[in-house]
Amino acid sequence: MKSETAILMVSFGTTHLDALERSIAATEKAVENHFPGYPVYRAFLNAAVIRSLKKRHGLQVDNEAEALARMERDGYKKAVLQPTLLLRGVEFELLAREARETGIHVSIGRPLLENVRDCEALSSIIMEENPVQEGEALVLMGHGTEYEANAVYHRMQDIFEEKNYPAIICIVGGEPSFQDTAERLVHWKARRVRLLPLMLVAGSHARNDMAGGKDSLLAAVRNGGIMAEPVFRGLGESRSVQALYAERIREAMKEFSV
């Protein structure tokens, strides 16, 4: 018997096909494996990314409204909408508002980072998957948001410090800045640093802001006399992170059983 519920995975999107496959598609596939019998649809939030993918690669991706309409035409009456966003920021709130205006019954899953427990779970995954040696540190570059959800980054930093883990979080165009981070690494007397995107996808932000030219995080750290290596691996490539999204979908599905 066909399920009346489908799953919609909504990502910001990327024009980098390799990163799309390793992070977004891999997360979607993991969700399919966690929920056999529930079809998984895809939507991107960034209209420019959607246009670019179609123009450059002939790849058609729906936006959220188009995907929900497609699901309704396919006969589904209920949808779990799971954003792959990290925070409950601007994009998440707009997404939630638009989802309520559709004709299909939508239950929305939580973002990856919303409370202390979420921060502890992700920090543990990062620690386990990126072991460091003496004199080495990690710098995690987040996107940031003007919403109060930005405080989540500070919660994660507190957790790293409580666990005496040599990891620093910095924000693209925000605080802590790239320069602040470089100065802190000098104070730590760090000899080697790995730079990782605290983002689902290692796409344009990773290539440009993290590891690009003279204004990048990589340049700021190296200017401090520290050896630095960028790691182009998005959070969506982690099986443990993929499992966290599956947990959120499972939570959201409970709304349909009430």
3-state helix, strand, coil in the chain (%, to 5): 50, 15, 35
User: For position 149, what pLDDT does the model report?
Assistant: 60
Contact 142, 170 (CB under 8 A): yes
Residue 136 three-state SS: strand
Residue ranges in the chain assigned as alpha helix (H) = 17-19, 26-34, 47-57, 64-73, 90-99, 116-129, 151-162, 178-188, 204, 217-223, 239-253
* DSSP state, residue 236: G
Q: Which residues pair with 42 in a beta bridge?
A: 9
pLDDT digits (tens, 9 = 90+) for 146-202: 666 678 889 999 999 999 999 999 999 788 899 999 999 999 999 999 999 999 999
Q: What is the CA radius of gyration of the chain?
A: 19
* 110 close to 248: Cβ distance less than 8 angstroms: yes
- The pLDDT value recorded for residue 148 is 63
Length of the chain: 258
In a 3-state reduction of DSSP, which class is residue 15?
Answer: coil
At CA 125, angle to CA 134 and CA 207, rounded to 5?
80
Give the DSSP letter string of 200-216. S--SHIIIIIITSSTTS
Q: What's this model's pTM, rounded to 2 decimal places?
A: 0.93
Position 1 scores a pLDDT of: 53
pLDDT at 39: 97
Tokens of 136: 């080495």
Q: Which residues of the chain have pLDDT under 50?
A: none
Element (H, E) at 145: none
List C-alpha distances in Å: 21 to 13, 14, 248: 11, 10, 21
